[in-house]
Amino acid sequence: MNTKPSHGPIHFRSPAKILWRTVRGMIPHKTKRGEAALARLKAYEVVTPPYDRTKRMVIPDELKVLRLQPGHKYCLLGQLSKE
């Protein structure tokens, strides 16, 4: 076997970077337009200072218990990054 795992595909641990990598796979990142779209993408792991003092709201229509079909599997990025 002529492979070296340390040279293999590097997977990000940060949930923000996992999201960034997922979005990158969905857009044409090798074009100018896709590159510009990735440059505009901002992903944070915590609530940033301008928004940390605002009141948080729950949107009932978007709750996963209402949106997901019974029996469908899901995972959270935070849990995925810790595995």
Could you tell me the sign of the dihedral formed by the alpha carbons of 5, 29, 21, 23, in that order?
Answer: negative
Banded model confidence at residue 1, pLDDT cuts 50, 70, 90: low
Share of the chain above pLDDT 70, in %: 99
**What number is the average pLDDT over the span 47-71?**
87
Contact 20, 41 (CB under 8 A): yes
What DSSP designation does 52 have? T
Q: Is the pTM of this model over 0.95?
A: no
Q: What is the pLDDT of residues 40-55, one digit of tens each?
A: 999 999 999 989 999 9
Tell me what pLDDT residue 67 has: 81
Could you give the CA distance from residue 10 to residue 17 in angstroms, rounded to a whole number? 12
Q: Which of 26-30, 44-48, 74-78 has the lowest mean pLDDT?
A: 74-78
Half-sphere exposure of residue 70: CA atoms within 13 angstroms, side-chain side: 0
Contact 24, 16 (CB under 8 A): no
Domain boundaries, the chain: 12-49+57-82
